[in-house]
Amino acid sequence: MSVEQKEYEELIERRKQTNLKHLENGVKFLDINAAYIDDSVVIGRGTVIYPCVVLEGNTVIGENCVIGQNSRIVNSKIASEVEIQSSHILESTIGAKTKVGPFAYVRPNSNIGQNCKVGDFVEVKNSTFGDGSKASHLTYIGDADIGSGVNLGCGVVFVNYDGKNKNRTTVEDDSFIGCNTNLVSPVKVGKKAYVAAGSTVTKDVPSGSLCVARSKEKVIDGWVERRGLLNK
C-alpha cells in the first residue's frame, strides 16, 4: 500500500468516526457516508444533513436545522431551525428560522438576522441583514446595512464599487426596493420608503417617501407600420 493510499484510508476512517459521533448526539443523516464534516464542527440535535454537504473549520450549527444537498459552510455560525438549500456560506452568521437558497452565496463578514429569506441566486457580501428582511431571488447585496422588515425585489443590485473604492449603502427598516433597482453607493434609503421598480438611485431617499428614478415611458403609435416592419 502506498503512502497516499494509507493517508486516504486514514482520512476516510476519521471522517466516518466524526459522523458517527454526530449521529450518536442526535444528528440525522440521509447518507452518513456522503457528508464531509471537520472534527471541529459542532452540530445541534435534530439537524438533518443531506448528501454531499461539506462543513468546515469552526462552524457551529444549531438544533433542528436542515442542511440541504451540496451545501458548503465554512467557519460560520448557524442558529437553530435554519434551512439551507444547495448554498455556500463563508465566515458569516445566520439567525434562527432563516431560509437560505437554493444556490445562494453568503460571503465573509455577513450577518443575516432571524426569520429572513436569502433566496435563489442571491449573493451577500460584507453586509448586515435585519430580522424579517427578504431577498427572494437574483439580487446582489454588497457592503450594505439593511434594516428589519425590508423587501428587496428581484434583480436589485447594490452598486458598491466605483472603480477605485468600495462604498456602503443603508436601507432602513420596513422599506421596499422594487425589482431591477440599482442602489449606487453610498446612498441611504430611509424607513418605510419605497423605490419604484427599474430605478437607479444616486441620492438619499427620505423616510416615508417614494423614489422613481427612471426614464418616462414613451409610446409611438403606428411606428412599426411606418417603418415597414410588419411583413418581416
**C-alpha cell at position 18:** 466524526
Rounded CA-CA distance 60/66 in Å is 13
**C-alpha cell at position 178:** 422594487
Active site residue 88: no
- Asked if the bond preceding 186 is cis, omega within 30° of 0, the reply is yes
In terms of phi and psi (left: phi > 0; alpha: psi -120 to 50; beta: otherwise), the region of 22 is alpha
Nearest to 135 by CA among 117, 123, 109, 160: 117
Catalytic residue among 137, 159, 183, 205: 137
Asked whether the CA dihedral 197, 102, 25, 13 is positive or negative, the reply is: negative
**Residues recorded for the chain:** 232
CB–CB of 89/74 below 8 Å?
Answer: yes
At residue 149, what is the residue type?
G
The catalytic residue positions are 137
